[in-house]
């Protein structure tokens, strides 16, 4: 009871308590800001800048319920003027490499010359701009929303993507 009757002692204790609460909140907000910035830029520390003549593409994936049932198809190509008759493709490939010291995957694109079928083109055939892909077939990577997909492609090429999702229903394969 004596502490309550001694007003200045109680107020001093209350003032110190308020200071402690304010300082604690300031530290919590500061730490949250620092860690949020670090989480966003953390991937940048792992993945080096693109070398001369290359471009770094970064795809951040949204969270999904069942990421194990999903894949991401990487499609690399370039928009070129075509004759509208022949089928075109770029030679080349996409190779997965591990970022040294981090263990994260990165994807390097090597491209070759533009090739095409050799069908005859009518003289009045208009030219058409088409997105021509690197002829490596579909390149599927694991869906992981915790890490970005980082692709290094030659300048002038573009990286596109699409999602693939497995059907949850499985079917038996017949015997013969």
3-44: pLDDT as tens digits: 454 555 545 466 666 666 656 656 555 555 444 444 456 788
In this structure, the number of other CB atoms found within 10 A of the CB of residue 152 comes to 21
- By the 8 A CB rule, do 59 and 147 touch? no
Structural domain for 79, as ranges? 54-165
Contacts of 130 (CB under 8 A, 6+ apart): 79, 80, 82, 88
For 161, phi then psi, to 5°, come to -150, 165
**Pair 95, 114 in one domain:** yes
Asked whether residue 176 is assigned to any structural domain, the reply reads no
Residue 155 has a pLDDT of 97
Give the CA angle between residues 108, 114, 115 to the nearest 5°.
Answer: 120
Residue 23 has a pLDDT of 61
- By the 8 A CB rule, do 105 and 151 touch? no
Q: Which two tokens stand for residue 172?
A: 């038996």
Asked whether residue 174 is assigned to any structural domain, the reply reads no
State the greatest distance between any 2 C-alpha atoms of the chain, in Å, as a whole number: 106
Q: Which residue has the higher pLDDT, 13 or 61?
A: 61
**Pair 20, 103 in one domain:** no
- The residue among 13, 41, 153 whose CA lies nearest residue 93 is 153
Interatomic CA distance for residues 32 and 171, integer angstroms: 48
Interatomic CA distance for residues 141 and 147, integer angstroms: 12
Residue 138 has a pLDDT of 85
Q: Total structural domains in the chain?
A: 2
**Pair 40, 61 in one domain:** no
Interatomic CA distance for residues 136 and 42, integer angstroms: 31
**Pair 106, 145 in one domain:** yes
Asked whether residue 95 is assigned to any structural domain, the reply reads yes
The residue assigned the tokens 């690197």 is: 134
**Pair 60, 133 in one domain:** yes
Average confidence (pLDDT) over 160-170:
93
Percent of the chain as helix, strand, coil, to the nearest 5: 25, 40, 35
Interatomic CA distance for residues 3 and 12, integer angstroms: 11
**Pair 29, 91 in one domain:** no
Q: Which two tokens stand for residue 111?
A: 């491209």
Q: Which residue has the higher pLDDT, 56 or 25?
A: 56
Asked whether residue 124 is assigned to any structural domain, the reply reads yes
């Amino acid at each position: 009871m004596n502490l309550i009757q001694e007003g200045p002692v109680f107020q001093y204790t209350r003032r110190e308590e308020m200071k402690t609460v304010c300082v604690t909140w300031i530290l919590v907000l500061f730490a949250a800001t620092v860690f949020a910035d670090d989480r966003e830029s953390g991937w940048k520390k792992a993945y080096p800048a693109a070398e001369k003549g290359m471009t770094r593409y970064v795809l951040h994936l949204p969270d999904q319920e069942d990421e194990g049932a999903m894949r991401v198809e990487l499609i690399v190509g370039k928009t070129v003027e075509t004759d509208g008759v022949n089928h075109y493709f770029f030679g080349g490939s996409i190779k997965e490499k591990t970022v040294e010291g981090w263990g994260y995957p990165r994807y390097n694109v090597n491209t070759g010359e533009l090739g095409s079928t050799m069908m005859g083109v009518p003289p009045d055939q208009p030219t058409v701009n088409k997105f021509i892909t690197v002829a490596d077939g579909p390149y599927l990577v694991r869906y992981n929303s915790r890490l970005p997909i980082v692709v290094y492609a030659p300048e002038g090429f573009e990286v596109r993507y699409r999602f693939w999702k497995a059907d949850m229903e499985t079917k038996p394969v017949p015997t013969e």
